[in-house]
């Protein structure tokens, strides 16, 4: 296959879209709302139905995400899209309701607890390698395989051995919700109030209701049975308590947070791994170096948490995949107070957009930003903290970031040690974001023995 200059990327627009163009872009691929100028300018402002500001400057992002976080809550569009599925869980709650849940859940994701869940990841990596081995000498969709592997992990660490927990039904409900209802509507673009019904989101929610019913039953059963000998995520959350108020989560609050972790915990890691494998296939020399590292560390076994320190290149490939194809590639906030961002007036009600995709490919922040170059992460201290935001930052940084990174390195190293991945002509993935940045068409790669 003739080499391309760079891996696949989103064709950012170079002329104004207008209201109808914005709606079409948002429903086709949210990242098409980002202008090419966003990869060169520190801030852009405009009006498309309502006032908006697109922020790419690290200091301004620090101001939004850390210094004035309460003045920039998640946008109403985000809440309208996600609320039916995950309620008032950590991801969308605000103020004190968010704060007490975060205080209660934070100890669940300590390094010790996350490391204790690593054997589930190792077992999933081994199972994934066994399934991939069946495709030796031909092509396989590695996105589909990574979704399977990471859903195994999150369901095992959430409802381990849960009788009556129908994994297939829950997975199907999540996929249907993302595919059919998690899209921006014209009323969102026009800035219509939250109480105005969005018809596309009113259809639908049999699968979500069923998913919640299954989760509620599993939680109630665990309360009755007591904790497992080796605590899983559900056990840890059942015991979780806000140290300030001594409040514990109700069944509904537990369920909404568990569903949040299930959706985010497998989707983001599956995407990271899929894009990482595509990038390794794009750059065979980097893949070969990572394979040598993995084989020297692992031999013929699957990776464990103890191996991660000896897999620095594998970790840098994960970091670079998160830079080039961040799962949460487009965030938005709604300003609650008057402010100034880089000399621009921000009024209450303005939409403030954090285009992480553009930030991670900004020409003032990254050398040759569209190139795959894991070496740029050799010294993390050289990267501005707010120029690289795959998990956000500030008080609302993703609570499961260490879990996702641990899982990604364990699975990626295991696969690279055993297989060679090669691009298939005409089958490069298309980066499309609806709720997350997915490889449209899958990640089809030729699989051969290492």
Residue 400 is classified by DSSP as T
Cα 89 to Cα 258: distance, rounded to the nearest angstrom: 9
Q: Phi, psi at residue 340, to the nearest 5°?
A: -130, 130
With beta carbons less than 8 A apart as the criterion, state whether 280 and 286 touch. Answer: yes
Helical H segments across 159-283, by residue range: 167-180, 186-190, 199-202, 206-225, 233-239, 251-282
3-class SS at 180? Answer: helix
Sign of the Cα torsion 282, 284, 288, 291 reads positive
| Bridge partner list, 51 | 47
Largest CA distance in the chain: 62
Cα 279 to Cα 258: distance, rounded to the nearest angstrom: 31
Cα 36 to Cα 78: distance, rounded to the nearest angstrom: 24
Whose tokens are 């031999």? That residue is 299
With beta carbons less than 8 A apart as the criterion, state whether 433 and 31 touch. Answer: yes
Cα 79 to Cα 8: distance, rounded to the nearest angstrom: 30
Q: Is 150 exposed, middle or buried (0-12, 13-18, 19+ CB in 10 A)?
A: buried
Residue 50 is classified by DSSP as E
Cα 363 to Cα 360: distance, rounded to the nearest angstrom: 9
Residues annotated as catalytic (active site), given as ranges = 268, 391, 398
With beta carbons less than 8 A apart as the criterion, state whether 273 and 146 touch. Answer: yes
Please state whether beta strands 139-141 and 444-449 pair in parallel, antiparallel, or not at all (unpaired): antiparallel
Comparing CA positions, the residue from 370, 358, 435 lying closest to residue 29 is 435
3-class SS at 364? Answer: coil
Q: What is the dihedral of CA 346, 350, 351, 353, to 10 degrees?
A: -10
Please state whether beta strands 344-346 and 339-341 pair in parallel, antiparallel, or not at all (unpaired): antiparallel
Phi-psi region of 226 (alpha: psi -120 to 50; beta: other; left: phi over 0): left
With beta carbons less than 8 A apart as the criterion, state whether 372 and 283 touch. Answer: yes
């Amino acid at each position: 296959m003739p080499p391309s200059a760079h891996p696949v990327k989103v064709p950012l627009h170079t002329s104004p879209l207008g209201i109808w163009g914005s709606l079409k872009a948002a429903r086709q691929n949210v990242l098409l709302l980002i202008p090419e100028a966003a990869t060169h300018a520190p801030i852009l402002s405009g009006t498309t139905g309502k006032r908006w500001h697109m922020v790419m400057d690290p200091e301004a992002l620090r101001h939004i995400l850390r210094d004035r976080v309460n003045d920039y809550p998640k946008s109403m569009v985000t809440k309208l899209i996600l609320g039916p599925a995950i309620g008032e869980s950590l991801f969308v709650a605000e103020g004190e309701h968010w704060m007490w849940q975060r205080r209660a859940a934070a100890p669940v994701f300590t390094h010790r607890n996350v490391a204790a869940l690593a054997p589930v990841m190792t077992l999933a990596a081994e199972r994934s390698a066994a399934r991939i081995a069946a495709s030796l000498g031909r092509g396989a969709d590695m996105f589909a395989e990574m979704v399977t592997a990471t859903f195994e992990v999150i369901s095992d660490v959430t409802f381990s051995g849960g009788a009556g927990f129908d994994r297939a039904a829950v997975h199907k409900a999540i996929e249907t919700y993302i595919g059919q209802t998690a899209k921006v509507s014209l009323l969102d673009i026009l800035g219509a109030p939250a109480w105005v019904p969005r018809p596309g989101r009113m259809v639908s929610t049999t699968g979500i209701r069923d998913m919640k019913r299954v989760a509620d039953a599993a939680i109630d059963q665990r309360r009755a049975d007591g904790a497992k000998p080796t605590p899983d995520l559900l056990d840890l959350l059942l015991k979780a308590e806000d140290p300030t108020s001594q409040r514990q989560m109700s069944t509904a609050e537990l369920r909404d947070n568990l569903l949040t972790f299930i959706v985010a915990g497998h989707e983001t890691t599956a995407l990271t791994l899929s894009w990482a494998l595509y990038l390794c296939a794009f750059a065979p020399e980097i893949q070969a170096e990572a394979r040598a590292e993995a084989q020297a560390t692992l031999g013929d076994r699957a990776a464990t948490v103890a191996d991660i320190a000896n897999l620095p290149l594998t970790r840098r490939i994960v970091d670079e995949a998160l830079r080039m194809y961040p799962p949460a590639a487009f965030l938005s906030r709604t300003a609650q107070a008057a402010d100034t961002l880089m000399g621009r007036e921000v009024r209450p009600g303005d939409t403030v957009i954090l285009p992480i995709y553009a930030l991670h490919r900004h020409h003032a922040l990254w050398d040759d930003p569209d190139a795959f170059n894991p070496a740029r992460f050799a010294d993390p201290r050289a990267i501005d903290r707010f120029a690289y935001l795959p998990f956000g930052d500030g008080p609302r940084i993703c609570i499961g970031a260490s879990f996702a990174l641990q899982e990604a390195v364990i699975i990626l190293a295991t696969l690279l040690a055993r297989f060679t991945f090669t691009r298939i002509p005409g089958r490069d993935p298309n980066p499309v974001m609806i709720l997350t940045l997915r490889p449209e068409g899958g990640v089809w790669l030729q699989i051969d023995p290492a």
